[in-house]
A and B are shown apart, each in its own frame.
Chain A
Amino acid sequence: MRELVIAVEKISKTYGSGESAVTAIKEATFEIYSGETVALLGPSGSGKTTLITMIGCITEPTTGKLTLNGNLMYEGGWKVNDTRQIRREKIGFIFQTHNLIPFLNVLENVTLIPQMNGIKKSEADQKAKDLLDYLGVGDKITKFPSHLSGGQSQRVAIARSLANNPKIILADEPTAALDADRALSVMQLLKKLSIEQKVAIVVVTHDERMLPLFDRILRVEDGYVQEIIQQHTAEYSQK
């Protein structure tokens, strides 16, 4: 049974005030469920990043209501004292470039968040090793990010995003720095994760070739968010 992970109701974000005010997101309303892969599609400057940072409790909305996993996060102001704790415990992030901490090795990059959450080192290490094995980079645990290829780095970044058992993973153009084959491989991996781990995945992307892999597509244009109903191309996702 699908579980409601994110509920966004008439959420808006305005930067600046008076005549210089710019509304990046205008009264967006949508829901995201566990095990779902959702694409955020739109041209540059359309408000995708603003939307993903609001869902990720990074940027405070101006109006509207945001609920994460049944808990009210925002309604006229943050409803939680520590948004970083919410991010640390409930949300996984994947970035355009891998954005691993360069002075930590692969294992430390993955265990950092669980250890911040108070998980014992031995337990965090074991979980991280399992994740890295699952993602095919289990032999790289002592390597530093600078010694990994782009694809390997992105897999480690995915492992890091999963290390805190998140309800939702927010990925900002995770395939932008990869070639077509590796990009497809990473997207298929995310799709697999959403199915196997029942985690909701929201991906900001420009790459329309990847769209058949998503369950739903939200198009963001001029601050407005609109859902696109698409035909599933099963053969592409099975490729």
Chain B
Amino acid sequence: MINLAARDIAHSKGKFITTALGVGMLIGVVLIMIGVYRGMVHDAMIVPNDIGPDLWVVQKDTLGPFAENSRLHEDLKYSLKGFLGVKDVYPLTFQSLQIHQGVKPIRVYALGYEAGGGFEPFTLIEGRAIAITHREIIVDKNTGFKLNDQIKLGRNIYTVVGMTRKAVSSGGDPMIYLDLSEAQELQFLFSNEQIRNDRARGGNGGSTDTVNTFAITLQSGFEPESVAKEIRRWKHQEVYTAQEQSGILTKNLIERSAKQIGMFTVILLIVSSVIISLIIYTMTMGKIKEIAILKLIGASNFIIIKMIALQSLLLGIMAFIGGNLFAHASANLFPKTVILIPTDALKLFVVVIIVSILASLSGIRSALRIEPATAIGG
């Protein structure tokens, strides 16, 4: 049997391809939105995964260090090391900064760690780790800096000695890495005037022995939950396992953003289905005479329904292919990470097929109402 849908499409290729590309761009935007969500989840987990601890110790009653502020005394690390099962304790600081590359301001996320001790919470692609803990810095390539560039942070000038790639914070800001003592100065050291004023008020003014969190690795054979329970009991601090921290990051931190993206995605899908529906309806209405002729010469409703539904499906499939090409071509142009994965595309394909079938219903309904007698006469 002649495939009427394919013949009709082949006869008006240009119109059909243009329409499919238009709808395809909408579908491409849907894919990108899903990719943005995937990118947010991925970005949120980069730093925790690079640090890779079994436990996170943070200030009591906080969700720190990524979701809430957390401040702890640095010397807590010595007592933490004494807990049974604890292998290593790494004090860390986190801080959002705005630095300048020339005249261009850049938002970065600074991680302070004890450099030179063998602990390297990053993957270098160029240069080396911080060797001398004095004014050396590691930056992500996305900052735009290169090796040996000079960066002014606070009161000091730092030299770039190492580079990472695609290391970003949960907010998508590129990472920079400093020695802990310098990061502490940057975050906690007040100006000389304020130190003087604080001393006049009776405070000690100017202590920088504070960190935001301790990342703890455990000896093999120890359960994170049981060690966490002991630390909570004896040190009165909050302790999260790696899994709980991951939950905080993906649920608490990006949940609202994910919902926002989800809403956009649903709206875009509704818009796409309305547009496909309108296109199919218009295409069907443009064929009133042909459908009347087909009915008059004896074509069954099945043949007519098949023609319209198949056109809608082909439009959906072509739009999906176009949308995929568009999404993959433009994903790298976005400032934040966009991750396109085949399973998302597959799920979207199923949705597009369902939407295409639903969208063809109005056209089919109209086609079935066309009277064959309208083919007779001028």
Contacts and interface: CB of A to CB of B under 8 A. Distances in A.
A89 interface: yes
A49 B8 contact: no
A103 B10 contact: yes
Interface residues of A, number: 32
B303 A103 contact: no
Given A101-B290, A116-B303, A84 B295 contact: yes
Interface string B2-17: 1010011011100000
A86 B300 CA distance: 11
Interface stretch (B151-159, B195-203, B368-376): B368-376
B329 interface: no
A122 to B, nearest CB: 13
Contact of A99 (B2, B11, B375): B375
A93 B296 contact: yes
Contacts of A111: 2
Nearest to B378: A96
A99 B373 contact: no
A86 B295 CA distance: 12
Contact of A172 (B8, B11, B303, B376): B376
For the residues of B in contact with A, the DSSP-based class is: helix
Interface string A115-148: 1100000000000000000000000000010000
Given A84-B299, A88-B298, A93-B297, A103 B8 contact: yes
Interface residues of B, number: 25
A40 to B, nearest CB: 12
Interface string B280-318: 000000000110011111111001000000000000000
Given A58-B373, A115-B2, A99 B299 contact: no
A53 B298 contact: no
B2 A103 contact: no
A112 B378 contact: no
Contacts of B295: 84
Given A87-B296, A102-B290, A97 B378 contact: yes
Given A108-B2, A111-B2, A49 B298 contact: no
A59 interface: yes
B1 interface: yes
Contacts of B12: 103
A176 B378 CA distance: 9
B144 interface: no
A88 B376 CA distance: 16
A197 interface: no
B375 to A, nearest CB: 6
The 4 nearest A-B residue pairs measured at CB: A88-B298, A103-B11, A87-B298, A103-B8
Interface of B: 1-2, 4, 7-8, 10-12, 289-290, 293-300, 303, 372-373, 375-378
